[in-house]
A and B are shown apart, each in its own frame.
Chain A
Amino acid sequence: MEPPDWRRLIELLEPVYRQAALTARRLSRSSDDGDDLMQEAVLRAYEKLPSLRDVSRFRAWFYAILLTVHRNRSRRSFWRRFVPLEDRRGGDGPEPAGEDGADWEKTRVAARRVARALAELPAVQREAVVLFEIEGFSIEEIGSLQGASVSAVKSRLARGRDRLRRHYQRLGFGPEGAAVPVLTEEGAQ
């Protein structure tokens, strides 16, 4: 078998790279962790490239690899759970000032809060929620990427949402929490 060709991979990857990289960040505990996940997925894709038969299905093929790597990392990442949840989520550059600055801070706090909630989900439920709620994939597409039936994806999605809601209720946004919403470092209000 011929060694895989980086140039061919780059051509195929270019149209899907941005969205896949953002998905990786959203599945991970931090943007840096997400970039590592993406890097590992690209490397896996490079190794498996000779086995890609239908180029028109590259996006689904690559996403399936990304999800597999994500699940493998989640399984073996006992120590990863001790990594701080967020480092640079919200940008590396100088923080915007004035009204923009206030909005930026609110966004950052909200993103950290939901990232923490997502990190508590099993990997397949996290994937279902992120792909459906943020990335806009259909249930059928998610089923094909996860190698699961439509009903399984629906169940994962429902359970994931339910657990997230309960997490938010514990933070004070619902019946299980305090009557007065709790103000935490993550900014629950």
Chain B
Amino acid sequence: MSPDPGTSPDRAARTSRAAARLAADLAALQRATSEREPDMNRTVRALRERSRRGLQEGRLMSLWNSLRVHPGRAAAGAAVALVLVLLFVPLSYTRTAGYEVRVELPGASLASTPVVQIAQQLKGLLNANAVSVALREGPGGGATLVARVPAGPRAPVQAAADGYARALAGKGVPARAEVRPVVERALGSVCAIAAERLREIRIEARGKTPAQIEQEIRARLAEVGFVNPQVTVTKQGGQMHIEVRADAVGKGAGASQARITVDGTHPGK
């Protein structure tokens, strides 16, 4: 029977040899670390200087240590800092500064079409800041009227431009209208951005039927730039239920969010 390797005399001897070497090395460590004498005065001098110089650093360090020990506080602090940054630090964003309404009058000429008169009518109709007229010479000829309309809901501008183009066509002046948003870069806080994107719609419901309320909400949503608004209003036992579905027009829409207030209260989402 072979001897158990775990208890063999040879193994025990080697284990004790490791223990003996360890003991000798610990004694060597004791000697080696004692060779250079520790200097208390130097340590204290350095620390005095450090404590004078680094009182403020010390406070920062203690804050840092406290945050390390309490990660919850660190997370809350970071969240507060983020909110403050979002509230007060200006961010770059795009906004609709107005609209450019282009009315094409193909084949028009100063001789045959009262272009200047049309331009004045267009300016008044759209409440535009200015209307420029560009005449094209050549075989086809024609004119392009460009009106700059101040920022606001897009839908009424689009409706007015289309209506005017149809009216001109009815008078025998072929016309085509196009509305383009004028987009500009701006700086503003998150609050300012949200306020700009949010449109408040106030509805007075007292004395109105659900159908009238529906119609009013639809019209107001269209005014602020939402297309195909589907509104359902039901009244049951003194409570009113309003359901609204609408799509914001793409880039350059007047608003991306609307808040509807009925009789001074916000019914919720």
Contacts and interface: CB of A to CB of B under 8 A. Distances in A.
Contacts of A91: 32, 35-36
Contacts of A90: 32, 35
Contacts of B47: 39, 42-43, 46
A169 B26 CA distance: 16
Given A42-B44, A43-B51, A110-B28, A31 B36 contact: yes
Given A6-B48, A169-B15, A174-B18, A38 B29 contact: no
Contacts of A134: 26, 29-30
B36 A114 contact: no
A107 B38 contact: no
Given A110-B24, A165-B18, A165-B19, A13 B34 contact: no
A26 B25 contact: no
Interface residues of A, number: 45
B14 A174 contact: yes
Given A14-B40, A110-B24, A110-B28, A89 B18 contact: no
Nearest to A168: B18
A3 to B, nearest CB: 9
A147 to B, nearest CB: 18
A111 interface: yes
Nearest to B58: A47
Interface string A33-46: 01100110011001
Nearest to B19: A165
Contacts of B10: 175
A110 B19 contact: no
B38 A26 contact: no
Interface in B205-239: none
Contacts of B19: 161, 165, 168
A2 interface: no
A114 B28 contact: yes
Contact of A92 (B14, B36, B43, B51): B36
B50 A43 contact: yes
A168 B38 contact: no
A173 B33 contact: no
Interface in A97-149: 106-108, 110-111, 113-115, 117-118, 129, 133-134
A82 B28 CA distance: 23
Nearest to A45: B47
Contacts of B18: 165, 168-169, 173-174
Contacts of A31: 33, 36
A88 interface: yes
Given A92-B36, A107-B31, A107-B32, A168 B44 contact: no
Given A17-B40, A113-B25, A175-B11, A39 B46 contact: yes
Interface in B1-41: 5, 10-11, 14-15, 17-19, 21-26, 28-38, 40
16 contacts: A17-B38, A18-B37, A21-B43, A35-B38, A39-B43, A39-B46, A42-B44, A43-B51, A46-B51, A110-B25, A161-B22, A165-B15, A165-B19, A165-B22, A168-B21, A169-B14
Interface of A: 6, 9-10, 13-14, 17-18, 21-22, 25-26, 31, 34-35, 38-39, 42-43, 46, 88-92, 106-108, 110-111, 113-115, 117-118, 129, 133-134, 161, 164-165, 168-169, 173-175
Interface of B: 5, 10-11, 14-15, 17-19, 21-26, 28-38, 40, 43-44, 46-48, 50-51
A-B pairs, 4 with minimum CB distance: A21-B38, A110-B28, A111-B32, A114-B25
